[in-house]
Amino acid sequence: MAKVFSLNEKEKQVCVGLARRSIKNFFENNSALRLSDAELKKLPKKLFEKKACFVTLNTGRERDLRGCIGHLQAIQELYKDVLDNAVSAAFEDHRFPPLSERELANLHIEVSILTDPVDFEFSFPEVLYKELRPGKDGLIIKKGHYSATFLPSVWKELPKKEDFLGQLCMKAGLSAEEWKRPGMKAQRYEAIKAIEK
């Protein structure tokens, strides 16, 4: 049986710390942070495992979304994915203008480390609806050329399954009712969430 990946609180804080440092480095050097050999030796070993992550940026008291970008498949070591996705979330999320340096002080950073997506087998939409686990499942949907994902954290804003599925379809460029029709493919995954203290 495969060993389940986990992070303790100290390792989680290293992840969010790297994300913040990478964003600050971009303001200073116009690039994502690259760690020295000495810094790499101090990193927790788990951060060298190939893992996919998303970096989510929120601002202000209301924690308004300010950027969210990541990978669904593991393409590189976790620490590198954190460094790269932090910069992408801050400066390349086309839904928002690039982050300004003055916003850094009120920036809240979350890193979501994803499990590998697995096919969500269902013959009928009712099965998808019934077996979807609010608060736990992240979901990827695909239909034709359209696709989109919601991280598990989106359940906080969309706690009802119908809303979650409908909004995800709309994010993909489909109608809100599309998940009820044949031909939808889906994968699900879970996430370990690291929140900046």
pLDDT in tens, 30-49: 988 999 999 999 999 999 99
Residue 45 burial class via C-beta count within 10 angstroms: exposed 0-12, middle 13-18, buried 19 and up = exposed
Using DSSP's 3-state secondary structure scheme, residue 26 falls into: helix
**Per-residue pLDDT at 4:** 79
**Per-residue pLDDT at 61:** 78
**Per-residue pLDDT at 3:** 64
pLDDT of 1 over the 60 cut:
no
Would you say 43 and 35 are in contact if contact means Cβ atoms under 8 Å apart?
yes
Would you say 168 and 141 are in contact if contact means Cβ atoms under 8 Å apart?
yes
pTM as predicted: 0.90
Integer Cα distance of 116 and 151 in angstroms: 13
pLDDT in tens, 52-110: 999 999 998 778 999 999 999 999 999 999 999 999 999 999 999 999 999 999 999 99
Would you say 1 and 187 are in contact if contact means Cβ atoms under 8 Å apart?
no
- Domains of the chain plus CATH, in order, are 9-114 (3.30.700.20), 118-189 (3.30.1490.150)
Compute the average pLDDT of residues 2-17: 90
Would you say 156 and 80 are in contact if contact means Cβ atoms under 8 Å apart?
no
pLDDT band for position 123 (cuts 50, 70, 90):
confident
Q: How far apart are the first and last CA of the chain?
A: 34
Would you say 10 and 188 are in contact if contact means Cβ atoms under 8 Å apart?
no
pLDDT in tens, 129-178: 999 999 999 999 999 999 999 999 999 999 999 999 999 999 999 999 99
Integer Cα distance of 154 and 145 in angstroms: 23
pLDDT band for position 17 (cuts 50, 70, 90):
very high
Largest CA distance in the chain: 54
pLDDT band for position 194 (cuts 50, 70, 90):
very high
Q: How far is CA 50 from CA 79, 87, 125, 136, 156, in A?
A: 9, 19, 33, 22, 28
pLDDT in tens, 126-138: 999 999 999 999 9
